[in-house]
Amino acid sequence: MKLLVANRGEIASRVFATARRLDWRTVAVFAEPDSDARFVREADESRCIGPAALDRSYLDINAILTAAAETGADAVHPGYGFLSENAGFAQAVTEAGLTWVGPHSDAIAQMGAKVEARAIAESAGVPIIPGAATGDLSAAASQIGYPVLVKASAGGGGKGIRIVRSSDGFDAALAAARTEALRSFGDDRIIVERYIERPRHVEVQVVGDQHGNVIHLGTRDCSSQRRYQKLLEEAPAPNLPDDTRRGLHEAALALARHIAYDSAGTVEFIVDADTGEFFFLEMNTRLQVEHPVTEAITGLDLVELQLRVAGGAALGLRQSDVTFGGHSIEARINAEDPVDGFSPRAGPVRHVRVPSGVRWDSAVEPGSAITPYYDPLVAKLVVARPDRETALDAMSEALDGLVLGPVPTNAGFLRWLVGTPQLRSAEMTTDVIDALSADEMPAPPTSDQVAGTAATAWLASMQHDRVRDDSGPWAWLGPFRLTEHRSVAAVLLRDAAGDLHEVAAASINDAESSVNVTSSADAGSVAVNLYGYTVAFDVPDRSDAWTPTATDDTGSVDAVAAPFPAVVVEVSVVPGDVVASGDTVVVVEAMKMLHSLSAHGAGTVADVRCAAGDAVEANQVLVSFVGADPEPEELS
């Protein structure tokens, strides 16, 4: 049998791993920016399905079906995201005579729009959040009682969700939500729901087959969220009374049976932490990012079950066959910048060091690039231990032992999150992280702090290895030079901003044994994990000669450059335009987020060096100005 995976990155690798174990042949499809990606090499065969153009290639149904026909694939697995919840794709795959590794297309369609899913859940006897989707929504909101939540029927990934606190803001929020929903999802239907003040996100994994068997594989808690996006997930959901847990299992099974569900899927619920009540949120008719935590506590391979039932075989598991053991936690490592509001970032990966004793589902290796075309998830770090407490400790330790950079990630933030009292005591609710003020959040360590720690740790390791130091007072050893006394090291490192650090490390007795240091395969840089954050430095050569990278070849003329790798969406100026400070000149998109780049002074546009659709590098000049006016002066 031959399986085509219509997806990319870590999920494509994940599906290939099971396929290989089951002796299936594998086919990768890829867009041009991914031509060197690991998942492409892992497949037995691969086909390019399109050029660099945001994520459209992976949505090109015809190109994917052509690749399937050309390679003689028997089955198509959609992964998650992209086309995984596209009923039309499921149907097209089936009509092409291929096996669709997912539920029947009606189930996808029925659960695809939240408006219909709510109605179906209600008729299956599953409690839904008080709300409305039709009629006078403003009147409905008043009746539900503020605050209310306004969300897009076709929404996903936490997009288009708004809290409205009073009737004053309702009409404006509704109008904005409709516009955004239409633009993002092509469907302007909106649901108004009671806003649960202290919501826990608890979900139930289900699996069904085409013979009417449906079982559950227990709960997961995904309450650690930022902006409605999951950060940490664990199984089983902790801190739930037995009858609530049983109620959740039964509700999920009732809904799955009601729609004759015949694959792996997830029914999401909100549990009100104040009252203990639970309500249906939505059903995801696909494999979920956090499926590894369920695999860890059940010992089952969810992709294997998907493949088995997709071919029409019976599930071969009864509810009583499923046993639960231990506790598992997953951390989503995203390429995003913690010092810039966690906005997604593209960039290079040079250092990857994964601690032992964990499951690491990832798309990256040294030499990979995180491109701006797709979402920021780069890896999932999963631990499983006998109980929750040791699992939390193991996750902290794993995040301390992980080195991944220099593209910035959220790993240091996750390291901090794992130790918060709300998480340790299993009282995390989905609103907690968003409510943190800036000074409650951990700040990444400074470059000086990290450089000093690195030098100390490096010194310790050199003494341990008895590295010879016989070439004068300063011996160059990697990025470090030792003093003649060998008890002090100095380090000369250049950080990402281009600043040079010459740091003397403390005496070896102060060496922090918990700090991880790894050197890069290309030897020109060193990456250090401090408090979970990876900080990478370039090592200037021995001569100390060091030239900062030119970011603006226009000399003294003011310019707007791309702050990170991105794709130009809109250019708002033409040569000759006069701009004021703060005016938007270019809009770029990186990792599914739009960023407006504005002039940081007044001036006249000299040159526009990009056009919509261009892929641009970090620091690439996009627009240059002449005669940047000084601040207007008072005439006297």
Residues that bind ligand ADP (CB under 6 A): 129, 149, 155-158, 161, 193-196, 199, 201, 225, 228, 268, 270, 281-282, 412, 415-416, 430, 442-443, 445, 531
Are the C-beta atoms of residues 491 and 328 closer than 8 Å to each other?
A: no
DSSP string, 80-119: SSTTTT-HHHHHHHHHTTPEESSS-HHHHHHHHSHHHHHH
CB of 201 to ligand ADP, least distance (A): 4
Residue with smaller CB distance to ligand ADP, 102 or 445: 445
CB of 126 to ligand ADP, least distance (A): 14
Torsion of the alpha carbons at 565, 571, 575 and 578, rounded to the nearest 10: -100
Q: Which amino acid is at 96?
A: A
Quick one: which H or E segment has residue 13? helix 9-21
Residue with smaller CB distance to ligand ADP, 64 or 87: 87
Half-sphere exposure of residue 239, counting CA atoms within 13 Å on the CB side?
22
Residue with smaller CB distance to ligand ADP, 184 or 487: 184
Q: List, in sequence order, every residue forming a beta bridge with 409; answer none if it has no partner.
A: 335
Cβ partners under 8 Å of residue 485, min gap 6? none
Three-class DSSP labels, 500-565: EEEEECCCHHHCCCCCEEEECCCCCEEEEEECCEEEEEECCCCCCCCCCCCCCCCCCCCEEECCCC
CB of 398 to ligand ADP, least distance (A): 13
Residue with smaller CB distance to ligand ADP, 435 or 574: 435
CB of 479 to ligand ADP, least distance (A): 22
CB of 613 to ligand ADP, least distance (A): 28
Paired tokens of 298: 């059940």
Residue with smaller CB distance to ligand ADP, 441 or 580: 441
What is the C-alpha to C-alpha distance for residues 80 and 324, in angstroms, rounded to an integer? 25
CB of 489 to ligand ADP, least distance (A): 21
CB of 628 to ligand ADP, least distance (A): 38
Residue with smaller CB distance to ligand ADP, 4 or 418: 418
What is the C-alpha to C-alpha distance for residues 630 and 611, in angstroms, rounded to an integer? 28
Residue with smaller CB distance to ligand ADP, 282 or 330: 282
What is the C-alpha to C-alpha distance for residues 173 and 178, in angstroms, rounded to an integer? 9
CB of 224 to ligand ADP, least distance (A): 10
Looking up tokens 């740091």, which residue turns up? 503
Length, in residues, of the chain? 636
Residue with smaller CB distance to ligand ADP, 442 or 524: 442
What is the C-alpha to C-alpha distance for residues 85 and 111, in angstroms, rounded to an integer? 9
